[in-house]
Amino acid sequence: MRLTIIGCSGSFPGPQSPASCYLISQEYEGRTWRVALDLGSGALGSLQQHISLDELDAVCLSHLHPDHYMDLTGLHIVVKWMPGGWTADRIPVHGPAGTDERIAIAHGINPDPGMHSEFDFRGWTPRQPTEIGPFTITPVPVRHPIEEPYALRIEARQEDGSVRTLTYSGDTDSCEGLIEAAKGADVFLCEAAFEDGRDDHLDGIHLNGDRAGAAAAEAEVGRLLLTHIPAWTNAQIVHEHASRRYTGNIAVASHGVTYDI
């Protein structure tokens, strides 16, 4: 499985990266499968540097804050108005209940019919796996101030029959669901939006480096990639504090970089 960082800026697009979007891809049974994990503000343009949009097999949303799903509006325009017509199928969009209505309202159109002609909206059921080609994606409820926030556990079947696992935290503070989703993952793509020492009084919203590192250690993951770091947060401080709690392989996710899992 390959993980490409399309956007990793927290809460809003930063000067070096769009907001949250991560492309996973896997060769399987004679073709390449491609799924976007979130499609936040500014991500659609960057995504096109890596794939043609009609190669996208699905979009999987962790929750419905704009920095994680708002560029569905742009993708809708591509599907609806592409000269010559969109030749691929409707794009499956997996997400929290009400995704279809929320994105239609954000785009300024009537939710009925909304974007149903362009997207095949499918609601998550907590802890119920969804199959997309070689990927098995399981949404696990986490802790964030919005309805239905999820971490996503992605298990990818390899051509040799083995399975590789990526866990994407979505947005969350420390909670049992995060550890459940990350347990034993090969790579833990974990948000760390809050800066240690500056935001310690804030609770129930985001992780900082210390709490992200503690979660990685408890879940016994193979590698920790810190992400969703806003422009006003010092990534070096976040990394330093995470490494005090987690002694394994650790790095800060970088826009445009591809990681093999």
Kindly report, residue by residue over 174-200, the tens digit of the pLDDT: 999 999 999 999 999 999 999 999 999
The CATH number of residue 16's host domain is 3.60.15.10
Cβ–Cβ < 8 Å for 200, 208: yes
The pLDDT score that the predictor gives to residue 159 is 84
The pLDDT score that the predictor gives to residue 38 is 99
The pLDDT score that the predictor gives to residue 14 is 97
Q: Which of the residues in the chain have pLDDT under 50?
A: none
The pLDDT score that the predictor gives to residue 227 is 98
**Total number of domains constituting the chain:** 1
Amino acid at 242: A
Q: What is the domain extent for residue 62?
A: 2-260
Cα-based angle 42, 256, 212 (whole degrees, multiple of 5): 85
Q: Exposure pattern of 88-109 as b/e (b: 16+ CB <10 Å)? A: eeebbbbbbeebbebbbeebee
Alpha-helical (H) ranges within 108-219 are 176-182, 209-219
Cα-based angle 217, 170, 195 (whole degrees, multiple of 5): 65
Give the integer Cα–Cα distance in Å for 176 and 178: 5
Q: What is the pLDDT of residues 36-73, one digit of tens each?
A: 999 999 999 999 999 999 999 999 999 999 999 999 99
The pLDDT score that the predictor gives to residue 24 is 98
DSSP 126: T
Run of H or E residues at 72: helix 72-81
What mean pLDDT, rounded, does the chain reach? 97
